Amino acid sequence: MHLSTKGLWEYPSQIGFKIPDVGEPQYYKDSECRILDGRVIAKNLVAQCHRLKEHHPLVIPKLVAILVGDHAPSKIYVGRKMKAFEEAGFASEVIEIPEKNVSLKGLNETIEKLNQDPLVHGILVQLPLPDFLDTHEVIHKIHPSKDVDGFLDGYLAQLALGRFPPIIPCTALGVGILLQCYGISMPSQHVVVIGRSRHVGRPCAWMALNQDATLTLAHSKTQDLPNLLKTADVIISATGNPWFIQPEFLKSGAVGIDVGISQDTDKKIKGDFHPDCQKKLRGLSPVPGGVGPLTVAMLCVNTAILAWK
């Protein structure tokens, strides 16, 4: 049976976004494991943004990203977001605030100005923030109508209570669409999400549950994860623990969605799944090139929803 993503894709479809076609299956070398390529979907969605501008000629979607401090990976991620917006033909701006200059009051004033600016449709505070700032307090200064990340209590609560809100956090939306594009259905499947963060693990878990998966949400205190994973049909892993999922943990024919990305002590960029997992799985998203580009593309989609709905 094929999954309907009516709920998940309801708001993007209302403004004209189509679910991309991923073409002929591609496999990892010497294996029957399909490459769940996120780049091809992301590229298609960014191109759709460009095309859809013709249908909404009066409003150019605009994102403002606030980047506080000197966190090197955050600078790279924000740079990727800006590049995607340029490719989409959307407007974007980065407000960089050095850590020594930042105060809660100043940050609140910056956000309030953006809340009032009719030309700004989405506001993003890049996380993590420096430790002395309360993330929950800061992001809740963003007006809900400009919550492009879907990180505020309102949208998350809707997702947790079984609905698909207008804005779904980019990673969860990206994972859901990745599974849809590659024909991996969720109803009745045992989906194990590893990681319970507010912004990634939980929204992915709720997204799967809302699509009738049988859900297990595992985390750092879960006991005997290898035995649990043996029963999983789909594993969505977001730990940032390089190559910690080994092939012997897996059921043959399961699907792996790798949301982890980390630089190991050998300086290599690695996901959560060891490459040998390809011998057991029927599909695996690569790192890099899987969920990461989709997260960026979904930010364009979410900004378009806020601007055009």
Q: Residue 153 catalytic? A: no
**Total number of residues that touch ligand GUN (CB under 6 A):** 8
Which of 220, 218, 212 shows the shortest CA–CA distance to 232? 218
Which listed range, 1-9, 123-131, 159-167, 271-279, lies at the site for ligand GUN (CB under 6 A)? 123-131
Which listed range, 94-102, 125-133, 184-192, 230-238, lies at the site for ligand GUN (CB under 6 A)? 125-133
Count of C-beta atoms within a 10 Å radius of residue 72: 7
Q: Which of 37, 141, 147, 149 is catalytic?
A: 149
- As given in the structure block, the two tokens for residue 142 are 């963003």
Candidates 97, 127, 160, 228: give the one binding ligand GUN (CB under 6 A).
127
Candidates 125, 159, 215, 229: give the one binding ligand GUN (CB under 6 A).
125
- Which of residues 126 and 285 has its CB atom nearest to ligand GUN in the complex? 126
Residues 6+ apart with CB under 8 A from 205: 191, 193, 196, 215, 217, 236
- As given in the structure block, the two tokens for residue 115 are 């809340």
Q: Which of 62, 81, 270, 280 is catalytic?
A: 81
* Shortest spacing between CB 256 and ligand GUN, in angstroms: 20
- Residues 129-158, one symbol each (x = binds ligand GUN by CB under 6 A, - = not), give --------------------x---------
Q: Residue 276 catalytic? A: no
Name the residue number minimizing CB distance to ligand GUN: 127
What is the C-alpha separation between 250 and 281, in angstroms, rounded? Answer: 8
What is the C-alpha separation between 245 and 272, in angstroms, rounded? Answer: 6
- Which of residues 150 and 286 has its CB atom nearest to ligand GUN in the complex? 150
Residues numbered 178 to 197 that lie near ligand GUN (CB under 6 A) are: none
Is 126 an interacting residue with respect to ligand GUN (CB under 6 A)?
Answer: yes
Candidates 170, 192, 245, 301: give the one binding ligand GUN (CB under 6 A).
170
* Shortest spacing between CB 96 and ligand GUN, in angstroms: 14
- As given in the structure block, the two tokens for residue 273 are 């799944």
- Which of residues 39 and 71 has its CB atom nearest to ligand GUN in the complex? 71
Q: Which of 37, 48, 62, 126 is catalytic?
A: 126
> Is residue 176 a contact partner of residue 205, using CB atoms and an 8 Å limit?
no
Is 124 an interacting residue with respect to ligand GUN (CB under 6 A)?
Answer: yes
Q: Residue 116 catalytic? A: no
- Residues 79-118, one symbol each (x = binds ligand GUN by CB under 6 A, - = not), give ----------------------------------------
Instruction: Please give the residue ranges that form the binding site for ligand GUN (CB under 6 A).
Output: 77, 124-127, 149, 170, 295
Catalytic residues: 81, 126, 149
